[in-house]
Amino acid sequence: MNNTLNAKTVMETIQWFVFLLANTVAMPIVIGAIYDMSLIEVSGLMQRSFFVIGAASLLQALFGHRLPIIEGPAGIWISIFSVMAVTGLHNGTSLNGTLRSLETTMILTGFILFLFGAFKIAQKILPIFTPLVTGTFFLLLTVQLSGTFLSGMLGLQGDTSTIQLTEATLAFITFFIILGLSVFARGWLSNFAVFIGIIIGWVSYLIVVDQPSYNQNVNLFSIPEIFAFGMPAIDLSVVPMAFITAIIIISNVVASIIAVNQTLGVESEEMNAQMNKGTAFSGINHGLAGIFSAIANVPLAVSSGFIALTGQKRKMPFIYAAILLIFIAFFPPIISLISSIPSPIANAALMASFIQLVGLAIRNLASVQLDSRKATIVGIAYLIGMGTMFLPTEVFVDLPSILQNVISNGLLVGTILVILMEQLWKEEK
């Protein structure tokens, strides 16, 4: 009996670990391409990301919301990383200088989140996150990031300005493999569609395009570096963005907690406590991301789908998987191998994953009756937010620096607009 239980625990731990890996591996590669990082720098970013995400998942499971919810790189932070890279260059800031400002932004956002959770403010601002707000946010997020992902799939990275046909073909094959498995397959094939697609695309890329390029001359063991981008830059212009980002991330925390509780069949009487503790530890985890120069992460609502598909409701295998992710972060050869996944393949995996986010956005908007008031609010927020994304970043250079990073980010502009209009334009009784 014990042997059977141990074998089940091992298999469930491996499955959780692969799921953690699949949701973690692509983002550092995408960020590395945006910031022109070398292979060694991408390996370091991935090492630190693995460590922080493993630690964040473990802290939340043990002390935060205490649910089996994986932490993963937040889509809103990918957007912020992308926008700040461009605005920074137009303002004469080097890419490394922007990364130092991002360290500051993540730490400051974490501090705000911690205060919201510790002083139980999080539960009081929950009513502003209506389906209209979340639906608009998700739609704008997919619009803003789809351009980054598509450019990566087409091989338009660094100094390359024309479509790389072979790389693009392999990226789209990977994209459709992931989509096909996630939609038509069942069981573990569907659950690990992203991971399987990355492996197939990676192997195909190595055969058709290039040989393995990972750095083999690395130490067998190393500790993740603190402030790898340099000491955080003192930059007051990131304060508004940090505050707005913290508000938006709270909705992510709440959505994940509700989804997993429903999947586990738990009617939580401690919902407010889970939300406040989850928010506070999201703040701590953001601080860790800033200190270790990683990508800030959030609880991923997709964890509920994993639990529903596999029937894995026990928390201990999840905890073991988080510990395993932390453990491999200390072995650079493993990280170096994983970080050599080609950028077109990683972007294809992310593009496929974001299709579900479009569906989530539509379901949120469809859950309310779009009368004249709601349709006007969504239309204004969507058009102005999306329009901002297509404006050249140099049009904002004459604005005060404290406004530039917010106003030049269409995602934040659109989300702020829909929140303000919903609160100020009250529905008639």
**pLDDT at 268 (0 to 100):** 65
The stretch 139-158 carries a mean pLDDT of: 84
- Give residue-wise pLDDT tens across range 40-62: 898 899 999 999 999 999 999 99
Residue 24 reports pLDDT greater than 70: yes
Lowest mean pLDDT: which of 279-288, 320-329, 363-372? 363-372
Contact between 177 and 197 under an 8 Å Cβ cutoff? The reply is yes
Model-level pTM? 0.82
Look at residue 358 and give its three-state secondary structure: helix
In what helix (H) or strand (E) does residue 218 lie, and over which residues does it extend? none
Give the confidence band of 318 by pLDDT, cuts at 50, 70, 90: very high
Structure tokens at 4: 């059977």
Lowest mean pLDDT: which of 85-99, 100-114, 148-162, 211-225? 211-225
> Across 79-88, 90-99, 337-346, which has the greatest mean pLDDT?
90-99
**pLDDT at 269 (0 to 100):** 67
The stretch 230-241 carries a mean pLDDT of: 86
Rg (CA), the chain: 21
Give the confidence band of 220 by pLDDT, cuts at 50, 70, 90: confident
Contacts by 269-273, CB closer than 8 A, 24 or more apart: 272/120, 272/123
Contacts by 10-13, CB closer than 8 A, 24 or more apart: 12/310, 12/312, 12/314, 12/317, 13/317, 13/320, 13/321, 13/324
SS percent in the chain: helix, strand, coil, step 5: 70, 0, 25
- Give residue-wise pLDDT tens across range 169-205: 999 999 999 889 888 887 767 767 777 888 899 999 9
**pLDDT at 226 (0 to 100):** 95
> Across 128-132, 176-180, 259-263, 425-429, which has the greatest mean pLDDT?
176-180
Residue 77 reports pLDDT greater than 80: yes
* Residues forming a β-bridge with 425: none
Q: Which of 68, 297, 34 is nearest to 156 (CA)?
A: 34
Residue 3 reports pLDDT greater than 80: no
Lowest mean pLDDT: which of 120-129, 174-183, 220-229, 326-335? 120-129
The stretch 277-287 carries a mean pLDDT of: 96
The stretch 75-85 carries a mean pLDDT of: 83
CA distance 7 to 317: 11
- Give residue-wise pLDDT tens across range 93-118: 899 999 999 999 999 999 999 999 99
Residue 309 reports pLDDT greater than 70: no
**pLDDT at 192 (0 to 100):** 73
**pLDDT at 62 (0 to 100):** 95
Between 84 and 98, where is the model more confident?
Answer: 98
Residue 1 reports pLDDT greater than 60: no
What is the CB-side half-sphere exposure of residue 214 using CA atoms within 13 A?
Answer: 20
**pLDDT at 52 (0 to 100):** 96
Lowest mean pLDDT: which of 160-174, 254-268, 282-296, 369-383? 254-268
CA distance 218 to 146: 34
- Rounded to 10 degrees, the C-alpha dihedral 193/196/197/199 comes to 160
**pLDDT at 79 (0 to 100):** 78
CA distance 174 to 201: 5
Task: List alpha helices for 265-315, DSSP H.
Answer: 271-291, 302-310
List of residues 6+ apart from 138 with CB closer than 8 A: 357, 358, 360, 361, 364
**pLDDT at 212 (0 to 100):** 54
